[in-house]
Chains A and B, each alone.
Chain A
Amino acid sequence: MFGFSILTTLIWLPMLAGMLILFIGRDRATLAKWLSLLTTIVTFYISLSLWIDFDTTVSTMQFEEKVAWIPQFNIYYHLGVDGLSMPLVLLTTFTQILVIASAWDVIKERVEQYMGAFLIMGGVMVGVFAALDSILFYVFWELLLIPMFIVIGKWGGVDRVYATMKFFLYTFFGSVFMLVAFLYMYSQSGSFSILHFQDMPIGMTAQIFIFLAFLIAFAVKVPMFPVHTWLPDAHVQAPTAGSVVLAAIMLKMGGYGFVRFSLPITPDASMSLDWLVIALSLIAIFYIGIVALVQTDMKKLVAYSSISHMGFVTLGMFLIYDIVQNTGSAQGAALGMEGAMIQMISHGFISGGMFLMIGVLYDRMHTRDISAYGGVVNKMPWFGMFAVLFAMANAGLPGTSGFVGEFMVILAAFKANVWYGIIASTTLIIGAAYTLWMVKRVFFGEVANENVEKLEDLNKREFVIMATLAIAVLVVGLYPAPIIEIMHTSVANLLIQATTSKL
């Protein structure tokens, strides 16, 4: 559709626009907002060409760009997407529009810095998914922390400083080990290319250390039990748009890291240590689900539910070894892996919807306490409709996107080990319990107090945002085939890489 370097444009257009807005947007909030919205829409439009021109029959990298960057160390500005990363790039550019729109009337202070930070983040996130050079990847990965740090710390809630410090240091701590792993592999191979890392043979001891280094980095980002504690804090304190970006995209980077780095680069270590990831995933699904049940703060509840749902992502990815062992074929393994990938996309939509929903309430009532609400649906019928839809999707109702991914992973889990399947299935009960209980307490019943009495229904802007996400949730839920088709070849290739020994 477009003849130019699409990925470079997707990365640099929002970043440059963001910097421009930082400089010219001072005291010109309206200009800053419109310019930001325009940028995100143009970016999304350009990113659609990735989908249209995508060749689903090959598993190699597409839309590749490669320029020498630091030639002394064989570091390249090397971009490209395959079926694993392309949907995530689209998810990013799509979410960006909603993020900018959601802040429209809400942010009053230093609008240009807020918009600029989110635009820069948007470019950087595409960079993370598109980078094929490990140093380039690391640069984007770390760079993302800077705007997020400032967004949470400046526009966040009461304990924002604590939350943002914790967020930054936790994720930074995780990723430095990944950097040492990259440097180690470079010292062995003389190249920083991710594709090269995927092909090079690595001894078992080294693989285990590299795997653990990756695990720390990605587990913090996903986040997995027991390094998940930064997420509820960050979510609760972050402004709505910050929560949306965190939940919808940043968490996906952890999952993406597993499929791009851990599984193909250290297949033998992944195989021998898959029990560790599976155990942590099951704990996340079950235990964190129960933790979510007792939350009194809506954002915290959704944050814990995110951790629980991301457990399915990591579970689906690491089930493959047991399935291949049990059934002798990669057929069932592909089910789990594709389920994990679908779950990432779907969770992007659903958690985005949930956090925007809480944002809508918070803008009106300035509290996230469940007990402060009750009977909201009487005053906000349209809003109630969307909220119930997202809640149902979060609980995994068939017909919504939440069902597809979880169902695929649960099926795969039964193939791997009946007990995994049973524990994973509990989420259908626990998830429904905490989500629907929250919906009941917030939306249904009598109008609880005079503040709720004064609530007004969605305005046009909010309606459009909610409707867009609702359509996305339903489309993925009813007709997930196009996304599966995009991923299919790349997943098959990933399974070959992940099950071929590199010793």
Chain B
Amino acid sequence: MNFVIPDFAPAIPEIVLLILTSLLLVADSIWEKRFQFATYYVTQAILIIVGILILTSFATEQTITFNGSFVRDSFGDILKIFVVFISILVFLFSKEYLMQKNFFRGEYFTLGLYGVLGMFVMISAYNFITMYLGLEIMSLALYAMIAMRKDHRESLEAAMKYFVLGALATGMLLYGFSMVYGATGTMQFDTMAAVIEAGNADKTVLVFGLVFVIIGLAFKLGAVPFHMWVPDVYHGAPTAVTLFLGTAPKLAAFAMLYRILVEALPGLVADWQVFLVMLSILSLTVGSIAAIVQENLKRMLAYSGIGHIGFILLGVIAANPDGYSAAMFYTIVYVVTGVAGFGMIVALARVGNEFDKIADFKGLNARNPWLALMFVFVMFSMAGIPPFIGFYAKILVIEEVVKAGFTWLAVFAVITAVISTYYYLKVIKAMYFDDPEDESKLEAVSYQLHLAVSFVAILLLVFGILPSSIIELTYNSL
């Protein structure tokens, strides 16, 4: 047996991230008492370094390394850049939140970095084992982050729920993986696709495995009917963690969906299309209707996120490169909007008031007109009303669905979009039309957060007026 040294170059961002994070973990335990914020600043520095590393070595073509278990391509790089961008924002919000809630600890940030590493591995995974590894690295970090606030029962409950259901989902996924492996005799995505293409795999076993794989994916994405954990976990987790949980992992989950269904199992497109149509319809329905009755903004955003997943699936259903690009564009837009949405809650949260109920937002226009306007941007972008970028996200996926011949599905999707507009309007109504219970001025926790929220919200408008650069980016990557 001869041993070939694999090409490390494509994985340098991951390797650097791993080494620096591990060093930080050690350093943190040493300086924890003396320099309170050192870990936070180093974390941000690490993310910036990794981001620059990716940007400077941006992949223009696909490279596969580590014996076909790791891939570097522009699709993955774009997603990774957004993971880094989102994570920088998330940690910025987290710092203030953790201080407010008095559980600022260095491990939070190192765990977050390991989560980012997990996402990177998921995005770049090119066989089932690597995919599973990435998923577990990410999930374990997230479980621990949710449970960090030890004095808060709801957080612990959320962590428990997420852990148990996450384990169940992973079990399903692994079972599906083993089935597909059994049928094709390979773990690697491109050879798997080739074997299925050649007709050398038992279709029954394959489809049987596919069902489990899709269930696992649906769990991770939070698609109906595997969505039960989403509202509870989003609600129970500390808002800063919800912010993390509800954004960056969606990018990784989308990459997982794409790599497995499109790169590994394109031969089963007719089969997974049917499943995705069902998941999508159910997600759109539940996402638009169940959110209406929510009083808690975090829960409402959780349900609205389920609806957004339905839209993302629409793009994948179209089953052509433009459709995948539209879905990717939607995912990125949704995630960025989500940062502003949950970020607003973090920015307004106070000691003793999580500021996560819709009623808390009553009269925000009187108390802080600027932040109210920013939140209007976020809500209308989520609702898909022009001129915000959420509108283009919606029309691109709907356009692909129409082009693929599913016009009825497009009509269904836009009707759910109208229904879901109602609850976004409810938030705006609370901010603008209701009288505040407390007339006092209300500022963001810190000026940094004020700027961060405004920055993201204005991005939604600017790219809503001039969306072509981001569209170009996603459409060239596939």
Contact = CB atoms under 8 A, between A and B. Distances in A.
B418 A180 contact: no
Nearest to A173: B418
A280 to B, nearest CB: 22
A145 to B, nearest CB: 7
Contacts of B471: 70, 72-73
A168 B392 CA distance: 20
A385 interface: no
B417 interface: yes
Interface of B: 365, 369, 373, 376, 380, 385-387, 391-392, 395-396, 398-399, 402-403, 407, 410-411, 414-415, 417-418, 421-422, 425, 428-429, 432-433, 466-468, 471-472, 475
B462 to A, nearest CB: 13
A186 B425 CA distance: 30
A53 B217 CA distance: 62
A142 B385 contact: yes
Contacts of B407: 180, 184
Contact of A183 (B369, B373, B395, B475): B395
Given A169-B422, A180-B407, A180-B411, A72 B386 contact: no
A442 to B, nearest CB: 31
B386 A143 contact: yes
Residue from the set B373, B411, B429 with the largest chain A CB neighbour count within 10 Å: B429
B304 to A, nearest CB: 16
B372 to A, nearest CB: 10
Interface in A178-210: 179-180, 183-184, 186-187
Contacts of B418: 169, 172-173, 176
24 contacts: A70-B468, A70-B471, A72-B471, A73-B396, A73-B399, A135-B395, A138-B386, A142-B385, A143-B385, A143-B386, A146-B376, A149-B425, A149-B428, A150-B428, A164-B433, A165-B422, A165-B429, A176-B415, A177-B414, A179-B398, A180-B398, A183-B395, A183-B398, A186-B399
Contact of B369 (A26, A135, A161, A184): A26
A176 B386 CA distance: 12
Contact of B421 (A22, A113, A135, A169): A169
Contacts of B421: 168-169, 172
A368 interface: no
Closest 4 CB pairs of A and B: A139-B386, A176-B414, A187-B403, A153-B433
Contacts of B396: 73
- Max chain A CB contacts within 10 Å: which of B396, B411, B418? B418
A260 interface: no
A72 B425 contact: no
Contact of A69 (B386, B428, B468): B468
Contact of B387 (A143, A153, A186): A143
A482 interface: no
Contacts of A184: 402, 407
A160 interface: yes
Contacts of B395: 135, 179, 183
A168 B414 CA distance: 15
A122 to B, nearest CB: 16
A72 B475 contact: yes
A144 to B, nearest CB: 10
A161 B451 CA distance: 31
A3 interface: no
A69 B421 CA distance: 27
Interface in A157-174: 160-161, 164-165, 168-169, 172-173
A183 B410 contact: yes
Contacts of B414: 176-177, 179-180
Contact of B432 (A69, A70, A72, A153): A153
Contacts of B411: 177, 180
A143 B432 CA distance: 18
Nearest to B466: A69
B399 A139 contact: no
Contacts of A70: 392, 467-468, 471
